[in-house]
Amino acid sequence: MAADAGYDASERLMAVLDGLDAAVYAADARGGEILFANRAFRALHGDYDPVGMVLRGVVVPLPERGDYRVDPRGLAAADVPCELFDGELPQPRSGRWYHVREQAVRWVDGRVVRLGIATDVTLRKRTAEIARQQEERISRTARLITMGEMASMLAHEINQPLAAIANYCNGCVVRMEAGATAAELQPVMKKAAAQAERAGKIIHRIREFVKKSEPRRVGVAVAAILDDALAFVDLDAQRRGIRLVVDVAPDLPEVLADRIMIEQVVLNLVRNGFDAMKDAVADERVLTVRARASGERAVEIAVIDRGHGIDEEDRDRLFQPFFTTKSEGMGMGLAICRSIVEYHDGRLTVEANPEGGTIFAFTLPVEESVRD
């Protein structure tokens, strides 16, 4: 004889429903009167029996009338079963979140009822929010780390126009003391003004790069992104004896991107390429930044170095947080780059350069393709 032979089907079903962690309920489709509530549902109300109460007055959150796929009040027995709602809802009084799913079914007495199940997903929602906030903090920290590493290079870059301005001005003083005319001084002063404008642009780029702001994706030309990003590293490339080659295909469409975030990706990849070529012979210190169409709906940007390359085993782990092939690296740069690219609905990949070295490439969606 079966172990549960002494119990009828309803008792067995009730034992199963009471064993669930999710709150299960049934309510009249027209008036909302609760007809059934399992143990988890009752526990939300201090373990008293809510049967007979109106469903709108209980703790479990319910969708608004307009959120139902079908208005349950107008359903007839011939219309069921059908799904009414499936989504996540907050409970304002408790601050908790529930995944609520409701279906219209035929009850034992023939009327239409709303059969629902509500699962508490508060922990998952809070964990996801914490992860999102942490990712934002890491991204901001990475930007500041990048700026810290660039500080020395930028100091050299801004010293160049400042030194030039000082030289031009001193030269003007000497010429004025020697009796030079205004016409003779004018070309020198124009050069000093041009250098002052150059210094201003450097400071503007730095401010734009480090300022905190919400991501804003707009249509932007790829060439403009690369021009601004590579302006940061031009002097460093000269100091290291690296030749920068920019290869942008003509007539590329605008991409939908947060300009500063993508500049951060390009900067990180370019600086990694510089580091990879520190031991390369002079003729092979060439870093290419290439942009071209990738199908009809995306643009691919590739950073190609002629450095020491990356082992296949390490290549599979490059994008893992805290993994690095540098003796002094933090191992966060590429992980953050991938997060930024994926936020833009793109993909970041790495492969060996047939000529020696490494190719990092990422895609960005064309602005029109997102609108479609």
Average pLDDT of the chain?
Answer: 79
* Domain regions of the chain by residue span: 9-120, 143-212, 215-372
Backbone φ and ψ for 203, nearest 5 degrees, come out as -65, -40
> Taking 60 as the threshold, does the pLDDT of residue 4 lie above it?
no
What pTM was estimated for this model as a whole?
0.49
Alpha-carbon distance 248 to 363, whole Å?
14
> Taking 90 as the threshold, does the pLDDT of residue 253 lie above it?
yes
Count other Cβ atoms within 10 Å, centred on residue 333.
24
Instruction: Please report which confidence band the pLDDT of residue 157 belongs to, taking 50, 70 and 90 as the band edges.
Output: low
Residue count of the chain = 372
Instruction: Please report which confidence band the pLDDT of residue 231 belongs to, taking 50, 70 and 90 as the band edges.
Output: confident
- β-sheet bridge partners, residue 106: 112
Could you tell me which of 219, 221, 227, 223 has the C-alpha nearest to residue 201? 227
Alpha-carbon distance 88 to 240, whole Å?
55
pLDDT digits (tens, 9 = 90+) for 84-97: 888 888 877 777 88
The CATH number of domain 215-372, selected from 3.30.565.10, 3.40.50.150, 3.90.1140.10, 3.40.50.720: 3.30.565.10
| Stretch 289-316: mean pLDDT | 87
Q: What is the pLDDT of residue 225?
A: 92
Instruction: Please report which confidence band the pLDDT of residue 339 belongs to, taking 50, 70 and 90 as the band edges.
Output: confident
Q: Does 311 or 26 have the greater pLDDT score?
A: 26
- Type and span of the H or E element at 287: strand 286-293
In this predicted structure, which of 33-37, 225-229, 272-276 has the lowest mean pLDDT?
33-37
> Taking 60 as the threshold, does the pLDDT of residue 269 lie above it?
yes
Whether residue 322 contacts residue 308, with contact meaning beta carbons closer than 8 Å, is answered with no
Q: What is the pLDDT of residue 47?
A: 59
Q: What is the pLDDT of residue 63?
A: 76
Q: Does 290 or 153 have the greater pLDDT score?
A: 290
> Taking 90 as the threshold, does the pLDDT of residue 303 lie above it?
yes
Is domain 9-120 annotated with CATH 3.30.450.20?
yes
Alpha-carbon distance 16 to 62, whole Å?
24
For tokens 């780029």, name the residue: 205
Q: What is the pLDDT of residue 322?
A: 47
pLDDT digits (tens, 9 = 90+) for 96-146: 888 888 888 888 888 888 888 888 888 888 888 887 787 777 666 666 665
pLDDT digits (tens, 9 = 90+) for 11-46: 777 777 777 778 888 888 887 788 888 888 877 766
